[in-house]
Amino acid sequence: MQRILVTGGAGFIGCNFVHYIMGHSRLHVTVLDKLTYAGNRASLAGLPPERFEFVKGDICDAALVEKLTGQVDAVVHFAAESHNDNSLEEPRPFVDTNLVGTFTLIEAARKHGTRFHHISTDEVYGDLALDDPARFTEGSVYRPTSPYSATKAGSDLLVRAWVRSFGLRATISNCSNNYGPYQHVEKFIPRQITNLLDGIRPRLYGEGRNVRDWIHVEDHSSAVAAILERGRIGETYLIGADGELSNRSVVEKLLVQVGQSPDAYDLVTDRPGHDLRYAIDSGKLRRELGWTPRYGDFDAGLAATVRWYRDNEAWWRPKKAETEHKYAGQGH
């Protein structure tokens, strides 16, 4: 493998993956990204120009996608509309990008016989009860609950059908909640960090009891690299780092880290249909591909993330006011 196409490479996880893979291989990387509100060209600064190309465009543009796919050995597909709250306000772009965009890409990969890796989420499995000892596995039933997760579930099923019906050489990974540098300020952890930097109290939806299974974004990148290199065609791998925490305990940790009282947060209107708990069993990935996460210490990863947002205000500041304005309209 010499050349790869990364869709959504100007977004949070995509840009972290591009930095990771270019630092750990000699691959040439082409990024295809529409630069929606969530994309930021600045997140891809400093990459070696002889091995990197940026193309601004839409994954629903069949002619462009077909041309770019024909130039590479593999496609790693991150591009998506990714935020649940947005999907509850305006679902249409989720259907277009997550479903039609994925369809457009796998049709091009089918035509050219290109290796394809599809990035997905644990949210396709719905949610678990807070007191349920179970975790999601590759065999869990698909039960998405939001417009976002329903379109991601649909995109996974399209990829599976293309493997079975057309012999597409594809793998799928479903990862839990990521945190780390370059995450948009609409998402939970960066929103609370940047609120604290602005002297605003953190905001917890409902009672803050919902549980998410946190993984550092660099561990997601190393898992995707392992699957791209050694994953079995047609297989799905769940990615997670045993990082279950309630939203309330994440906010309490953040408050303590910035020297404030752990109860200095506000409870705000809950998200409609708010999934209670996600939890990943990543045993298959660890056993088959020998992958292990490097960021075992969530508190240390969180502290490094706080430092990153403190040191990179120029990156997030332009998005902060419009994001908070949108949240104010939703009662969040």
- List interacting residues with ligand TDX (CB under 6 A): 82-84, 121, 123, 177, 187-188, 191, 203-205, 210, 212, 247, 271, 332
Nearest CA among 115, 111, 122, 93 for reference residue 3:
115
Helices 298-311 and 313-329 meet at what angle, rounded to 10? Answer: 100
Identify the residue among 60, 105, 196, 250 touching ligand NAD (CB under 6 A). 60
86 binds, among ligand TDX, ligand NAD, none (CB under 5 to 8 A by kind): none
Q: 123-127: long-range contacts at Cβ-Cβ below 8 A with a sequence spacing of 24 or more?
A: 123/84, 123/148, 123/149, 123/152, 123/275, 123/278, 124/149, 124/152, 124/153, 124/156, 124/174, 125/174, 125/278, 126/275, 127/275, 127/276, 127/277, 127/278
Identify the residue among 115, 117, 135, 184 touching ligand NAD (CB under 6 A). 184
From residue 91 to residue 130, what is the string marking binding to ligand NAD with x (rule CB under 6 A)? ------x---x-----------------x-x---------
Supply the minimum distance, in Å, between the C-beta of residue 315 and ligand NAD: 13
Q: Give the C-alpha distances (Å, rounded to integers) separating 181 from 4, 159, 266, 295, 310.
A: 23, 29, 25, 14, 11
From residue 158 to residue 177, what is the string marking binding to ligand NAD with x (rule CB under 6 A)? -----------------x-x
Token pair for 122 = 């644990």
User: With respect to ligand NAD, which residue has the nearer C-beta, 38 or 196?
Assistant: 38
User: With respect to ligand TDX, which residue has the nearer C-beta, 37 or 52?
Assistant: 37
Whole-angstrom distance, CA of residue 127 vs CA of residue 208: 15
Chain position carrying tokens 């540098």: 181
From residue 67 to residue 96, what is the string marking binding to ligand NAD with x (rule CB under 6 A)? -----------xxxxx--------------
Supply the minimum distance, in Å, between the C-beta of residue 191 and ligand TDX: 5
Distinct helix (H) and strand (E) counts, the chain: 12, 13
116 binds, among ligand NAD, ligand TDX, none (CB under 5 to 8 A by kind): none
Catalytic site includes residue 148: yes
Supply the minimum distance, in Å, between the C-beta of residue 104 and ligand NAD: 9
Supply the minimum distance, in Å, between the C-beta of residue 264 and ligand NAD: 26
Catalytic site includes residue 179: no
The strands making up 28-33's β-sheet, listed across from edge to edge, are 52-56, 28-33, 3-7, 74-77, 115-121, 170-175, 236-239
Catalytic site includes residue 122: yes
Identify the residue among 4, 5, 6, 12 touching ligand NAD (CB under 6 A). 12
Interacting residue ranges for ligand NAD, rule: CB under 6 A: 7-8, 10-14, 32-36, 38-39, 58-60, 78-82, 97, 101, 119, 121, 152, 175, 177-178, 184
